[in-house]
Amino acid sequence: MFISDVLHGKSGMVVKVAPGDTVLAATRKLAEHRIGAVVVEDDWMRLVGIFSERDFVNATARYGAEAVSFPVERLMSKRVITCRPNDRIEDALAAMTMARIRHLPVVADNRLAGIVSIGDLVKHRLDEKALEANVLLDIARLHA
């Protein structure tokens, strides 16, 4: 199975912020959409970073309450690991595990095509395994 299979089951909407947006604005988007990360895009719609709950927690621990007034670009993760729609789910899971990240932007033709979370990928794999189990049960019933 491929990342594109996971993206088909999602809404396609990616929540984004600009580098100059405040951390407060970004955390409000996280809360409003009940997500763990937002993509940071510049004025030319280029992926320049990702801002996650972990970034916020680390900033709050380091700077205290004043962190909410910082621009996102000050605290975002600038080294963004991405994947492509034709990447295998297993490879994406491995990359996320090795990098200790939970969100992976999907890039196609140098443009953001979506974002997947580790939860999305695990759910897709579990659904796939449940389908396989049901097929095997059906086959067993036919031969019984």
Strand blocks (E) in the chain: 16-17, 37-41, 47-52, 103-108, 111-117
Question: Tens place of pLDDT for every residue, the chain, 144 residues?
Answer: 899 999 987 877 899 999 999 999 999 999 999 999 999 999 999 999 999 999 999 999 999 999 999 999 999 999 999 999 999 999 999 999 999 999 999 999 989 999 999 989 988 888 777 777 677 777 777 876
Domain covering 3-143, topology: CBS-domain (3.10.580)
Global pTM? 0.84
Q: Is 113 helix (H, G, I), strand (E, B) or coil?
A: strand
